[in-house]
Chain A
Amino acid sequence: GQNIDQPTEMTATEGAIVQINCTYQTSGFNGLFWYQQHAGEAPTFLSYNVLDGLEEKGRFSSFLSRSKGYSYLLLKELQMKDSASYLCAVRDSNYQLIWGAGTKLIIKP
């Protein structure tokens, strides 16, 4: 079966750095996506990786290793507004999105 694993919850301190990991086992691979979802709001697209390596976008970076079936989302200079759930999703060989259950990130002052 297809599976996406990510931690259920993480806690970090304002101003610090946090890394949210995502591992996947899917039928083929056609890209990996990260979304942010604040409580009671719509998920919003953060990043897309299809080739190995690091994609940087401001305070957020996303890394992919296809050989390891692994990605992480790196958040720097954490702000209170970064408290949210972070969803990892992989597009498989049929171009279907397979979703993880999300990681709830709690930022403390």
Chain B
Amino acid sequence: ETGVTQTPRHLVMGMTNKKSLKCEQHLGHNAMYWYKQSAKKPLELMFVYSLEERVENNSVPSRFSPECPNSSHLFLHLHTLQPEDSALYLCASSQRPSEGGYTFGSGTRLTVV
């Protein structure tokens, strides 16, 4: 399988649940990203990993917890989310953190009820 794969595609969770989003890339890229996409708003960068080390954390609430066990996999652990966290969560990868030509996954549509 090639490209960037995200699972699940859709997720509905209660505010007290704990869930995880998964991202996998088979492109040999060294940088991976989590973005939040809300309707009619710009993409919001959440986390950046380069060679499995977190290089950026844009003041994201602690209820979002990233994990990068290796250069091909990225997780976003979710707990005690709020309804305003409902959005499309996109994973992306690139050869280097400074590159802009990202390859995106199709995203996880998250609904918090």
Q: Least Cβ distance of A16 to chain B in Å? A: 25
Q: Mark A1-21, 1 if CB is under 8 A from B, else 0.
A: 000100010000000000000
Which B residues touch A96, using CB under 8 A?
45
Provide the bound-state CA to CA distance between A32 and B80, in Å: 37
- A91 CB-CB contact with B under 8 Å: yes
Q: Are A87 and B104 in contact (CB under 8 A)?
A: no
Q: Summarize B's interface: helix, strand, loop or mixed.
A: loop
Give the size of the chain B interface in residues (CB under 8 angstroms): 18
Give the size of the chain A interface in residues (CB under 8 angstroms): 23
Q: Are B43 and A99 in contact (CB under 8 A)?
A: yes
The chain B residue sitting closest to A42, CB to CB, is: B104
- A109 CB-CB contact with B under 8 Å: no
Interface residues of B in 59-107 (CB under 8 A from A): 90, 97-98, 100-107
- B4 CB-CB contact with A under 8 Å: yes
Partner of B102, one of A4, A8, A45, A98: A45
Partner of A4, one of B42, B97, B105: B42
Contact A97 to B106, CB < 8 A, known contacts A31-B100, A89-B100: no
Q: Could you write out 18 A-B pairs with CB less than 8 Å apart?
A: A33-B101, A40-B106, A40-B109, A42-B4, A42-B90, A42-B104, A42-B105, A43-B102, A43-B104, A44-B104, A89-B43, A89-B100, A91-B98, A91-B100, A96-B45, A98-B42, A99-B43, A100-B42
- Sorted nearest first, the 10 A-B pairs with minimum C-beta distance are A95-B98, A99-B42, A42-B104, A99-B43, A42-B106, A43-B104, A33-B100, A101-B42, A91-B100, A45-B101
